[in-house]
Structure 1
Amino acid sequence: IVFLLKVTYSIPGFLAVFLTINSGFASSRIWGIVDLSTGVPTFANLIAMIFLMGKFLELLKDYKARHMGIGEVDPDFAIWYEDKKKLEAN
């Protein structure tokens, strides 16, 4: 998926430049294409944020407990991958 995004991400920009230089399109039409090409990755990021919201809330709760004194610290909460491996080894 990442490779596909790397390959296709720049296509709308190149298309907008090509249409601007080689066609008689009005500038408003070109700006509409650019707006659409900017909006697609934005929606992809919003979807990713929705999927990651649960993990973010876990990390926020742990941060508040450890650094702000709000709530109880969970000693079994593994923040880093290495911490998770240490907890599994014990």
Structure 2
Amino acid sequence: MMTCYEHLDLLREQIERHLPELSAHLARRSQILHVSRRGAPERYVVWSHYAGAYEWMGGQDAGAQLGADALQAVEQIKRTLLPTL
């Protein structure tokens, strides 16, 4: 079973690979992934063991699921943060 950190680190890698317009930062042993794009407020993603999915943390989308795997989450993050692409 993967830890929260491992799930978030996998998502960070996928964001770097598929969404170079975004910056993703995960502090060592953190359980919160920081995602941002230039000129926009930083957003936060967590892994919910209860839901078995990535979720937005805080803000207007708090608790909204992004997907059960990293690629699903990348697509949802893209729709939210880069809607014109």
Normalising by structure 2, what TM-score? 0.27
In proportion to residue count, which structure has more strand? 2
Query: Higher helix share goes to which structure?
Result: 1
Larger Rg: 1
Compute the TM-score of the two structures, normalised by the length of structure 1: 0.26
User: Per chain length, whose mean CA-contact separation is higher, i.e. which structure has more relative contact order (CA < 8 Å, sep 6+)?
Assistant: 2
